[in-house]
Amino acid sequence: MTDRAFCAVRAGALTTVQDLGRAGHAHLGVPRAGALDEPAHRLANRLVGNPDTSATLETTLTGCAVRVRTDTVAAVTGAPCPVTVDGRPAPWGAPVRVPAGAVLDAGPATAGLRSYVAFAGGVDTEPVLGSRAADLLSGIGPAPLSDGGVLPLGTPSGPPARVDAVPRSALPLAELVLPCVLGPRDDWFTEAGLRTLATGRFRVSSASNRIGLRTEGPPLERSKDGELPSEGMPLGALQVPPNGLPVLFLNDHPTTGGYPVVGVVPERFLAAAAQAAPGTPVRFAPRRSRATG
Amino acid sequence: MSTGTPGGRTPAGRSRLPLRPLPVGDHGLLVELEDAAAVEAFHSELLRRAAAGTLPAVREIVPAARTVLLDGVADPGRLAAELPGWDIPPATAGDRPAIEIPVRYDGPDLADVAALWDTTPEDVVRIHSGTEFHVAFCGFAPGFGYLTGLPERHHVPRRATPRTKVPVGSVALAGPYTGVYPRSSPGGWQLIGTSDVDLWDPDRDPAALFAPGTRVRFIPVSTQSPQEAR
């Protein structure tokens, strides 16, 4: 029980290995993947002395628990949750010593959706195209954690951070406000449809996942029917399928698509979207592009 | 919105392509072009400039049917203003040999495609395997390429009812495109054959056999030969 690895004793609803993803391969049909709440992922790594590129575990709503096979330092960030080591309370958002054989438990999120669990040395699965991230659209990278599954840990590269307090994400969320830049296909919608985008009350649909945050609410009226010839889809795209309800493309989104993109949410607002649980009210704040007018 | 500057041919055969840059968030552009050939020429020019270090840093360059997406650009407004002034040569086939994909032309829709082409299944095989394709763009799944090359009279619609499961390796047609399914998935394309080629292998370099611009030929192999039988 001294090898550098951990075993999942409670895999949770959906726990995946994530890092900063594999940007730069979209032209091959390969999604970016990577941590949805990237600031929380980076923070977790910093707390345990890892570079930002180390892989962490991204949990979904119910957290996860792992038994480590070596003395290690771990940290839990993102969605706040009760943290225990062998049943004893431990701090959230701080480096925690976990002795070999002990169980680190990141409990159900008390706000938000996704917690990040970093270990000193990082989760050391085999990289694919330069990233260890699990991509749930195309099945690249490690499979989601399963009960009893074992994953390797890397060698720590630096000492854990010495911190008294860490910044919290914008949690809990009473309402998710998503600023967005109109285009490239806002001309596929009527004036009324664009007004609906700006004023409509939407909610996060329970059909949301790492591919996209789906919304429920008033449909956006289109001025053109049909589909576009396939075109490249950026991270943060608000793609509008025939039902008129915007889908916010998250990290595992398809790289091309034929439904019009009414606007694009800048990346810095996507971490909040990643923490918005189903049912959270959503408001869009569209504006015109400063770049191309 | 500017529609670019058409015309203006230079002695070297370079020309100003009509193009329309559309906004994509704060750091992207979707550049709309007139047709697939213009997309290919513009995409090639982007890659040339990227290789020469004269293109501003771009995280993703994603060509598609009528557009090229540029994402992760520091100053998209400046780039959008420059694009209409670029002199761009027509795309060339390139000097790398075509990738050869052995195909058993045994797909369940071969007869339907023959009917749509108003010819025989044997002629479909002859025409399809006699065409030089090139990868216009990728998408749908890692390793999936949208291959163009068939003339317009051989474009076919998708099937009215998509299949819930298209087998891995299926060689299929839809619209102007030929594709090879890199894995089993639902799909509505017309299946004309099967290939054993591994289009996507993350342990291989390159992982994807098809990248935008790759030239491809399909080589018919016997559906009876024992070494091809599965």
User: d(Cα B143, Cα B169) in Å, to the nearest integer?
Assistant: 11
From CA A254, how far away is CA A138, in angstroms rounded?
9
H/E/C letters for each residue in chain B?
Answer: CCCCCCCCCCCCCCECCCEEEEEECCCEEEEEECCHHHHHHHHHHHHHHHHHCCCCCCCEEEECCCEEEEECCCCHHHHHHHHHHCCECCCCCCCCCCEEEEEECCCCCHHHHHHHHCCCHHHHHHHHHCCCEEEEEEECEEEEEEEECCCHHHCECCCCCCEEEECCCEEEEEECEEEECCCCEEECCEEEEECCCCCECCCCCCCECCCCCCEEEEEECCCCCCCCCC
Q: Which residues of A touch B69 (CB under 8 A)?
A: 26, 231-234
CA angle (A172 as vertex; A111, A94 as ends), nearest 5: 65
Chain B residues with beta carbon closer than 8 angstroms to that of A30: 142, 208
Q: Phi and psi (nearest 5°) for A218? A: -75, 130
φ, ψ for residue A17, nearest 5 deg? -80, 130
Distances from the Cα of A151 to the Cα of A4, A132, A190, angstroms: 9, 12, 51
Tokens of A243: 């039902």
Choose, out of A178, A230, A262, A290, the residue to mutate when testing the contact with B (most B CBs < 10 Å).
A230
pLDDT value, residue B230: 43
Please indicate whether, in this complex, the C-beta atoms of B62 and A183 are within 8 angstroms of each other.
no
Chain A residues with CB under 8 Å of B211 CB are 27-28
- Kindly list the residues from chain B whose CB atom is less than 8 angstroms away from the CB atom of residue A233: 69
Please state whether beta strands A281-287 and A202-204 pair in parallel, antiparallel, or not at all (unpaired). Answer: antiparallel
Distance between CA atoms of A88 and A104, rounded to whole angstroms? 9
State how far the Cα of A139 lies from the Cα of A130, in Å rounded to an integer: 15
Q: What local confidence, expressed as pLDDT, does residue A2 receive? A: 54
Bridge-partner residues for A73, per DSSP? A97
pLDDT of residue B3: 39
Q: How far apart are the first and last CA of chain A?
A: 61
Q: In this predicted structure, what is the pLDDT of residue B4?
A: 39
Q: Do A184 and B76 touch (CB under 8 A)?
A: no
Amino acid B205: pLDDT? 87
Beta carbons of A247 and A214 less than 8 angstroms apart? yes
Q: Which residue of B has its CA nearest to A256?
A: B139
Instruction: Kindly state the tokens that stand for A90.
Output: 């431990």
Out of A24, A128, A292, the one facing B59 most closely (by C-beta) is A24
DSSP character at residue A267: G
d(CA A59, CA A37): 11
In this prediction, residue A1 carries a pLDDT of: 44
β pairing state of A88-90 and A256-257: unpaired
Sign, CA dihedral A130-A136-A138-A140, equals positive
- CA–CA distance, B127 with B178 (Å, rounded to integer): 13
- Which residue of chain A is at minimal alpha-carbon distance from B82? A292
Chain B residues in contact with A266 (beta carbon < 8 A) = 25-27
Rounded to whole angstroms, the Cα distance separating B91 from B38 reads 8
* CB within 8 Å: A231 and B142: no
Continuous segment of H or E residues that includes residue A151: strand A150-152
Predicted pLDDT of residue A174: 87
Q: Is B136 on the interface with A (CB under 8 A)?
A: no
The answer to whether the CB atoms of B22 and A184 lie below 8 A apart is yes
The whole-angstrom separation of Cα B158 and Cα A49 is 53
The whole-angstrom separation of Cα A120 and Cα A47 is 9
Buried b (16+ CB within 10 A) or exposed e, B176-193: bbbbbbbbebebebbbbb
What pLDDT does residue B96 have?
77
Parallel, antiparallel, or unpaired for β A96-98 and A150-152? unpaired
| pLDDT value for B5 | 40
**Nearest to A275, CA basis, from A200, A204, A184, A201:** A204
Strand pairing category for A176-182 and A281-287: parallel
Q: Which residues of A touch B (CB under 8 A)?
A: 23-30, 128-129, 138-140, 180-185, 229-237, 254-257, 261, 264-267, 289-293
Of the candidate ranges A41-55, B26-40, B87-101, B115-129, the one whose mean pLDDT is the lowest: B87-101
* Residues in A touching B143 (Cβ below 8 Å): 28-29
CB spacing of B62 vs A27 below 8 angstroms: yes
B6 has a pLDDT exceeding 90: no
> What's chain A's Rg over C-alpha atoms?
20
Q: Which of B72, B65, B63, B85 is nearest to B28 (CA)?
A: B72
Of A26, A139, A291, Cβ closest to residue B77: A291
Please tell me which residue of chain B has the smallest CA distance to A268. B26
* Contact criterion met (CB below 8 Å) for B105 and B125: yes
**Residues in chain A, how many?**
293
**pLDDT band at B2; cut points 50, 70, 90:** very low
Walk along chain A (293 residues) and give the pLDDT tens digit of each residue.
458 999 999 999 999 999 999 999 999 999 999 999 999 999 999 999 999 999 999 999 999 999 999 999 999 999 999 999 999 999 999 999 999 999 999 999 999 999 999 999 999 999 999 999 999 999 999 999 999 999 999 999 878 877 766 666 656 578 999 999 999 999 999 999 999 999 999 999 999 999 999 999 999 999 998 889 999 999 999 999 999 999 999 999 999 998 999 999 999 999 999 999 999 999 999 999 976 54
**Mean predicted lDDT score pLDDT of chain B:** 90
Q: Pick the residue from chain A with its C-alpha nearest to B146.
A: A230
